[in-house]
Amino acid sequence: MAKIVKLSEKDREKSEKLKLVISEVEKVIVGQEPMIRGLLAGLLTRGHILLEGVPGLAKTLAVKTLSSTIQAKFSRIQFTPDLLPADLVGTRIYNAKTGEFSISTGPVFANIVLADEINRAPAKVQSALLEAMQEKQVTIGDKTFRLEEPFIVLATQNPIETEGTYPLPEAQVDRFIMKVVVDYPTKEQEIEIINRNTHGAQQEVDTVLKPKDILDLREIVDSIYVDEKVKQYVIDIVFATRNPEEYKLNLKELIEYGCSPRASINLILAAKANAFMNGDGYVSPDDVKAVAHEVLRHRLILSYEAEAEDTTPDDVIGQIINKVKVP
């Protein structure tokens, strides 16, 4: 079992601020707490988040509302098939009077970047975004610019529409720390959505955090304690996707490729963020379970046999979590 490490009073107060952020976002967004927590986990772990869901589930609104609670620079990029890399990162502009080039930076120069319908952009645009996501820098002409921290890409994609879309390559999908699937609201939640959105009044949210606060919170999350047994638990979950027979799982025919070491790293990071949001100073196996689906579902490549049987990555992950021994 994980060693019990309590957060200091000061750190606990900062953890409580995250609950205030969630409360502010919930003034506008009804339900969808897993999505909100997923977005916050990305901010706390320097990771990027992929949101997947059908249109109309408030994915874009959630990102915009979250950015309003943080006094940070926000930009939204609507991805379309005719988008060019320069539309994303910026370009060099020639001044005829001086005979010199000047740099005009693009919308990716922000703290929170909403990449709306990211799978609508062609490969050359996706590769330009990949440099920003992985290296936290942008190259325009012969100059390279560092992106200001905190920097996070929150991308949305529509899973049901394939016409005019470009599936994200596995190398880019793997750069997202979590893939959060946004589901339909309950009947009660939908009634509340109707009530809030049919009166004409727009709900305002208060600013709770500043960019420097996010950087401070990241340092606290970095220091969250992870016991060796919990690390071994994470390793067992990831290795079960590669060698399921070693864990007495009958999944070999369903898994084409298991998860990479990046999955292990991100499971620990996301579990740390989950523990901190719960006010804990240590990671428990429950924290790992809470984020396992979001961290692994886009890294697990299933076989044709799995698709033929309508088996989803979540089904496979669920079997693995149920089978792997908890410390």
CATH number at 305 reads 1.10.8.80
Instruction: Give the dihedral of Cα atoms 16, 21, 22, 25; nearest 10 deg.
Output: 160
Same domain, 17 and 66: no
Write the CA distances from 46 to 41, 231, 300, 325, integer angstroms.
8, 20, 22, 30
CATH number at 54 reads 3.40.50.300
Residue 287 has a pLDDT of 95
Query: Domain boundary residue among 194, 211, 239?
Result: 194
Same domain, 6 and 57: no
Distance from first CA to last CA of the chain, Å, rounded?
6
| 189 located within any domain | yes
Residue 161 has a pLDDT of 63
| Neighbour tally for 130: CB within 10 Å | 17
| 214 located within any domain | no
How many distinct structural domains can be found in the chain? 2
Q: 80-115 burial string, b = 16+ CB within 10 Å, else e?
A: eeebebebbbbbeeeeeeeeeeeeeebbbbbbbbbb
Same domain, 25 and 52: no
Same domain, 167 and 52: yes
Residue 280: which H helix or E strand, with range? none
- Among 130, 129, 115, 112, which residue's Cα sits nearest to residue 80? 115
pLDDT tens-place values along the chain, 327 residues long: 445 567 767 777 778 888 888 888 888 888 878 888 888 899 899 989 998 887 777 788 888 888 888 888 888 888 888 888 888 888 888 777 777 777 888 888 988 888 888 888 888 888 888 878 888 888 887 788 888 888 988 888 877 766 556 677 777 788 899 999 888 888 888 888 888 877 766 778 888 888 888 999 999 999 899 999 999 999 999 999 999 999 888 888 888 888 989 999 999 999 999 999 988 889 999 999 999 999 999 998 888 888 888 888 999 999 999 999 988
Same domain, 237 and 189: no
| 114 located within any domain | yes
Same domain, 105 and 184: yes
Same domain, 42 and 165: yes
| 313 located within any domain | yes
Same domain, 261 and 172: no
Same domain, 230 and 313: yes
Same domain, 44 and 190: yes
Residue 270 has a pLDDT of 95
Q: Which domain holds residue 87?
A: 31-194
| 190 located within any domain | yes
Residue 89 has a pLDDT of 85
| 220 located within any domain | no
Residue 127 has a pLDDT of 80
Same domain, 96 and 140: yes
Same domain, 61 and 7: no
33, with CB counted inside 10 A (0-12, 13-18, 19+), is: exposed
Residue 5 has a pLDDT of 63
Query: Do residues 264 and 238 touch, judged by C-beta distance below 8 A?
Result: yes
Query: Do residues 214 and 70 touch, judged by C-beta distance below 8 A?
Result: yes
| 242 located within any domain | yes
Write the DSSP symbol of residue 160.
Answer: S
| 218 located within any domain | no
